[in-house]
Structure 1
């Protein structure tokens, strides 16, 4: 474990001319007589790595970012659900627990057609 610095790639490997997406973009612009100053100034090497094949495609990186931790989240949700089911089965009164910080709701006076309004409903 440990020991030493990680090997840093030689900066000269990162050239925009080796990136198919950037070459294609440059060619499309050239067909219309346009030039991207970012590309024409040999894109700073600290940006070209983003397109390097070792880092995958933009879609792949986006998918990886969005799904990172998803499996862990599902596992934690399943464990939480299972723990709650076990607790409720071991402590039957737990299902009827009332949070003392939440005011009780009264369902008999909210006016949604449960009788008692004096409007001639069915009795």
Structure 2
């Protein structure tokens, strides 16, 4: 499909990721060590805690909570403006009251 020249990403060398750089994984490593165990694959989880690649927990939560808020609010304002300009929705709260239809009948 054309236009693709080379890899669009770079894969960092595995030695960049160390358990010692991640406090949560270091805690796991020490807890396993106290029990006489070790996890040779623990280093493979270090990339998940890289703030440059994935941001912090707070930044990911902020992105999740507010993604699309700007465009959603803009579309809300456009909808309100269109309804106002076209006269749509005016008087919908009355439900027919006050239009000469009196419930009390005089005899």
TM class, shorter-length = 0.5 to 0.7
Residue 5 of structure 1: CA displacement?
A: 1.6
What residue ranges of structure 2 are gaps of 5+ in the alignment? 96-102
Relative distance call for 1:34 and 1:63 in structure 2 (3 A) is farther
1:9 to 8, 11, 15: 11
Which consecutive aligned stretches of 4+ in structure 1 deviate over 4 angstroms post-superposition? 34-37
Cα pair 1:26 1:35 within 8 Å, conserved: no
Q: Which position in structure 1 is the counterpart of 2:77?
A: 78
Equivalenced residues, count: 92
Q: Indicate the SS of the match to 1:5.
A: coil
Cα RMSD of the aligned pairs, angstroms, is: 3.7
What residue ranges of structure 1 are gaps of 5+ in the alignment? 98-104, 106-113, 116-123
Cα pair 2:19 2:25 within 8 Å, conserved: yes
Relative distance call for 1:24 and 1:44 in structure 2 (3 A) is closer
Q: Following the alignment from structure 1 to structure 2, what is the Cα–Cα distance between the partners of residues 64 and 34? A: 39
Relative distance call for 1:48 and 1:9 in structure 2 (3 A) is same
TM-score (ref. length: structure 1): 0.53
CA deviations over 1:81-113 (Å, ceiling 9, x no partner):
11111111xx7xx6368xxxxxxx9xxxxxxxx
Relative distance call for 1:44 and 1:24 in structure 2 (3 A) is closer
- Do residues 61 (structure 1) and 60 (structure 2) align? yes
Q: Indicate the SS of the match to 1:95.
A: coil
TM-score (ref. length: structure 2): 0.59
